[in-house]
Amino acid sequence: MRILIVNPNTTAAMTEKIGRAGRAVAAPGTEIIAVNPADGPISIEGYYDEAFSVPGLLAEIAKGDAAGVSAHIIACFDDTGLEAARCISQAPVIGIGEAAFHLAAMLGHRFTVVTTLSRSIAAIENNLLKYGLASRCAKVRACEVPVLSLDDPASNAAAQISAEIERSKQEDHAEVVVLGCAGMADLAARLSEYHGLPVIDGVASAVKLAEAFGALGLKTSKTGAYAQPRPKPYLGSFAPFAPR
C-alpha cells in the first residue's frame, strides 16, 4: 500500500524527518510518501497559521487521492484541515493527534500531552473534547519550544521536552505521554526508555492505523458529514478548489 503523509507547513527538513519516522515503523510493502505544500506558513503555531495552511494541505490531499494512495495522514498535531480533507478524499484520512490520543487511551488510564507552545494548548484541548477523550487526558502541557527549534541541533529542545515529561509524571500522575508535535517524532523511543512509560508519537501511530484500515478494507463513510462537497463555483484565487 501507499500512504501519503502531508506536513501542512512548508519546512522541507521537517517533512523529511516526518517521512523517516513513518518509514521506520511501516510494514514491508508499505510505501511512505511525505510531502508539504509550496505555499503557506513555515510552521503552524496557533489558529492563524493553521488557517493559512489548509488550502495547501487540501491541494496535496487532492493530488494524492488522484494518484490512488491507500490512505492520507495529516502530520500536524492540531489535525489541521482534517474534516475538510475527509470530505474530498476517497481514501481514509488520519490526523496524527487523533491517532495518538486513541492509542494513549488504550495504554493507560490517564495520559498527558506535551506540546510546543502555550498557544497550542487550546486547540489540543478542543480536539480532545471533540474526540470524546478529554476525560482521559490529565493535562495538556507546553514545553515552550518553538516548532522550528525542534530541528535545530543547537537548541535544548529535547531536554525541555524531557523535563516536561518528568513534571507530568510527578504532578499529573500520567501513565502515558503523547508528544504534541510531528517535529518530535524522532524523540519518542528514547524518551519512553528514559522515563519508563509509553511515549507516543502521532506519526508512527497514524501509519500503523492507516495500515490497519487498509488490511481491513475500511474507508471513510460518505453517507453524511464527510460526503463529497456539493458542486458550486468558488470565486477568485479559490476557483481551483471548487467542488465538481
Complete DSSP assignment for 169-214 = IIII--SEEEEESGGGGGGHHHHHHHHTS-EEEHHHHHHHHHHHHH
The bridge status of strand 176-180 relative to strand 111-115 is: parallel
Q: In Å, what is the CA distance from 70 to each residue of 30, 109, 136, 173, 231?
A: 10, 32, 31, 39, 25
Q: Is the pLDDT assigned to residue 76 strictly greater than 80?
A: yes
What is the model's pLDDT at position 110? 96
Q: Is the pLDDT assigned to residue 66 strictly greater than 80?
A: yes
Per-residue pLDDT tens digits for 8-61: 999 999 999 999 999 999 999 999 999 999 999 999 999 999 999 999 999 999
Phi, psi of 215 (to 5 degrees): -65, -35
Name which residue leads in pLDDT, 152 or 165. Answer: 165
Per-residue pLDDT tens digits for 91-119: 999 999 999 999 999 999 999 999 999 99
State whether the Cα torsion 72-131-97-58 is positive or negative.
positive
What whole-number distance in Å separates Cα of residue 233 and Cα of residue 203? 35
Class of domain 97-202: alpha beta
What is the model's pLDDT at position 151? 78
- Longest CA–CA span in the chain (Å) reads 55
Q: Does domain 2-96+204-241 have CATH number 3.40.50.12500?
A: yes
Query: How sure is the predictor about 155, in pLDDT bands with cuts at 50, 70 and 90?
Result: confident
| Intrachain domains 2-96+204-241 and 97-202 with the same fold | yes
Q: How far apart are the first and last CA of the chain?
A: 28
Query: How sure is the predictor about 140, in pLDDT bands with cuts at 50, 70 and 90?
Result: very high
Residue 211's Cβ-side half-sphere holds a number of Cα atoms within 13 Å equal to: 15
Residue 107's Cβ-side half-sphere holds a number of Cα atoms within 13 Å equal to: 18
Q: Is the pLDDT assigned to residue 236 strictly greater than 80?
A: yes
What is the model's pLDDT at position 211? 98
The domain spans of the chain are 2-96+204-241, 97-202
Per-residue pLDDT tens digits for 168-219: 999 999 999 999 999 898 899 999 999 999 999 999 999 999 999 999 999 9
C-alpha cell at 38: 509550496
Q: What's the distance, CA 42 to chain centroid? A: 16
pTM of the entire structure? 0.95
Q: Is the pLDDT assigned to residue 154 strictly greater than 80?
A: no
